[in-house]
Amino acid sequence: MAVAMSLSPITVFIVESAAIARKTLTDVLSADPTISVIGTASNGVIALEHIPQLQPDVVCTNLQMPEMNGQELIRQLLAVSPRPVLVVSQTVQPTETQTINQVLQAGAVDVLSPPKTEQWSAGERRALLEKIKVLAGVKVLTRPLEPSVPGVSPPPSNQHCSHLQALAIGASTGGPRAIHQILSRLPSDFPLPIFCTQHISAGFLPGLISWQDAMCSLHVKAAVAGEVPVPGTVYFAPDHYHLTLDARGRCYYSTAPAVQRHCPSITVMFDSLAQYYGAGVLGVLLTGMGQDGSAGLQRIAEAGGLTIAQDETSSVVFGMPKVAIDLGAAAQVLPVDHIAPYILEYLS
Q: Where in the sequence numbering do the catalytic residues fall?
A: 172, 199, 292
List, for residues 48-76, the tens digit of each pLDDT value: 999 999 999 999 999 888 888 888 899 89
List, for residues 101-118, the tens digit of each pLDDT value: 778 878 888 889 888 777
Query: CA-CA distance, 70 to 15, in Å (whole number)?
Result: 8
Which residues of the chain fall below pLDDT 70?
Answer: 1-6, 145-162
Pinpoint the residues of the chain covered by CATH 3.40.50.180. Answer: 166-347
- Cβ atoms of 262 and 294 closer than 8 Å: no
Residue 99: Cβ within 10 Å count: 18
Question: What pTM value is reported for the model?
Answer: 0.66
CATH class of 10-135: alpha beta
Element (H or E) spanning 320, and its range? Answer: helix 320-326
Pinpoint the residues of the chain covered by CATH 3.40.50.2300. Answer: 10-135
Query: CA-CA distance, 264 to 319, in Å (whole number)?
Result: 18
Residue-wise DSSP of 264-290: S-HHHHHHHHHHHHGGGEEEEE-SBSS
- The string over 328-337, giving b where at least 16 C-beta atoms fall within 10 Å of a residue's C-beta and e elsewhere, is ebbeebbebe
Residue 147, pLDDT score: 44
What's the fold here for domain 166-347? Rossmann fold (3.40.50)
Residue 162, pLDDT score: 53
- Cβ atoms of 251 and 280 closer than 8 Å: no
Collapse the DSSP code of 61 into the 3-class scheme (helix H, G, I; strand E, B; otherwise coil) and give the result. Answer: strand
